[in-house]
Amino acid sequence: MKVFVVGGGGREHAIVWKLSQSPKIDQIYCAPGNPGISELAECVPISVSDIEKLADFAIKEQIDITFVGPEEPLLKGIVNYFKQQGLAVFGPSKEAAMIEGSKAFAKELMLKYHIPTAKYAVFTNYQEALAYVRLEGAPIVIKADGLAAGKGVVVAKNMKEAEGALQNIMEESVFGSAGARVVIEEYLEGEEMTLLAFVNGTTVKPMVPAQDHKPIFNGDQGPNTGGMGTYAPLPHIDVSIVNRIISEIVVPTAKALVEEGCPFEGILYTGLMLTKEGPKVIEYNARFGDPETQVVLPLLETDLVEIIISSLSRELENIEVKWKDASAVCVVMASAGYPGIYERGKEIKGLDLVHSPAIVFHAGTSKKNSEIITNGGRVLGITAIGKDLKEARDLAYQSVGKISFEGAHFRTDIGSKAFH
């Protein structure tokens, strides 16, 4: 088989890495890919948003299956377009991807189908939003409605932060049109976790739970990022809680989308807060999370291609998805200044010193002559697998210690919540 992966970040490197282990695949292409991906797949210089060019390539190369990694092409309707061209593509339709594309759409869906989430209100008028925030008080959560590359959420600890966030999003349009509408939510207390699932219509095959670390600094301090590291599974979260999330949240969400006439096919990401009242949804994504993919896929025992084929042929309920009895930890190495302004073009050293069972996933890198250089805020995700969380964590940090680039920084407490 020939498989085509759309995307070029750490998530797509993990997807390509997993697909490359399948005996069913002869050739993997990736657009646009990155230097890490190029060791496993043929990289094609097409932008993820150039849907017609991507489809033309899939037709020309007689691609058997296209796997869409990032949210942007999903919300632009890549799946709809590929299907119109008679191409097999794995991912949700434009309509189903709205569960990520509009936070207001997701909140309205949860309200209608009684899926537990934070109390909220939606505003397009700055003065009305400001009045609501002043009425509710802080801490409070302010979200740009549309896509903002994982950075459109502000957890305001006090009124000054809340008012500043509204000013930035609505008046100064720091997230562009994504902030024309805001969702303001009650602040939920508890521990965060992510549950990814393979979904086709009402069939849900959950993955192992993972926990992302969004703030830039240790102890969850500082501004939010796209994710500074993650681990899976979560030994300190009881299996009964995970089962409750599946039965009370993930399955009802899949059924709700079917009811609404936009059945979901692909990877559904549910971001959750484990509150005193029980698990509540913080957000949905319509695709694999980044960096959660970098720990979940290494633990997957079943051939990923077989899962995709079974989903595309409406047989997902008949496949058994198996997981390794092991743990994985991913530590993200970021550029100096991230998530703010950062420099690119720093030479990365020591990549050749990291060996299995650790894996280096490239997130923001490029090649200059024969050197690998930094080309993003989150540069690398160093994943290690161990028999338990402690072993995986030790190995991940040992591997991080072998790699260097100017200004590199990373959190040193990934996975520590499991030990408290």
pLDDT tens per residue, range 40-60? 999 999 999 999 999 999 999
pLDDT of residue 146: 77
**Residue 379 corresponds to which tokens in the numbers above?**
């540069």
How far is residue 209 CA from its own chain's centroid? 13
pLDDT, average across residues 176-195: 89
pLDDT, average across residues 102-110: 92
Indicate the average pLDDT of the chain: 95
Q: Please, which residues have CB within 8 angstroms of residue 264's CB and are 6 or more apart in sequence?
A: 92, 96, 99, 199, 200, 201, 254, 257, 258, 286
Determine contact, residues 22/64, Cβ cutoff 8 Å: no
How far is residue 1 CA from its own chain's centroid? 26
Determine contact, residues 67/90, Cβ cutoff 8 Å: yes
- The fraction of the chain above a pLDDT of 70, given in percent, is 99
| Overall pTM surpassing 0.85 (yes/no) | yes
What are the tens digits of pLDDT across the range 317-370?
A: 999 999 999 999 999 999 999 999 999 999 999 999 999 999 999 999 999 999
Q: For residue 268, what are the β-bridge partners?
A: 197
Name the pLDDT band for 262 (thresholds 50, 70, 90): very high
Between CA 83 and CA 305, with CA 81 as vertex, the angle to 5 degrees is 50
Determine contact, residues 25/3, Cβ cutoff 8 Å: yes
pLDDT at 152 over 80: no
Q: For residue 272, what are the β-bridge partners?
A: 193, 281
For the stretch 323-358, what's the b/e string if a residue is b when 16 or more beta carbons lie within 10 angstroms of its beta carbon?
eeebbbbbbbbbbbebbeebeeebebeebeebeebb
What are the tens digits of pLDDT across the range 3-38?
A: 999 999 999 999 999 999 999 999 999 999 999 999
Neighbours of 242 (CB within 10 A): 20
CA distance 56 to 78: 12
What is the Cβ-side half-sphere exposure of residue 355, based on CA atoms within 13 angstroms? Answer: 1
**Residue 296 corresponds to which tokens in the numbers above?**
């979940």
pLDDT of residue 134: 93
Determine contact, residues 319/307, Cβ cutoff 8 Å: yes
Question: Comparing C-alpha atoms, which of 237, 322, 248, 238 is closest to residue 280?
Answer: 248
pLDDT at 149 over 70: no
Residue 34 vs residues 37, 53, 120, 150, 160: alpha-carbon distances, Å: 5, 18, 39, 20, 41
CA distance 213 to 13: 20
pLDDT, average across residues 391-408: 98
Name the pLDDT band for 310 (thresholds 50, 70, 90): very high
pLDDT at 173 over 90: no
Domains of the chain as residue ranges with CATH: 2-91 (3.40.50.20), 125-180 (3.30.1490.20), 191-318 (3.30.470.20), 327-419 (3.90.600.10)
CA distance 179 to 75: 16
**Residue 242 corresponds to which tokens in the numbers above?**
């995970």
More confident of the two residues 179 and 87? 87
- The fraction of the chain above a pLDDT of 90, given in percent, is 88
CA distance 413 to 147: 28
pLDDT of residue 151: 64
pLDDT of residue 302: 98
Is the previous residue joined to 298 through a cis bond, with omega within 30 degrees of 0?
no
Question: Which stretch of 96-105, 129-138, 155-164, 176-185 has the lowest confidence by average pLDDT?
Answer: 176-185
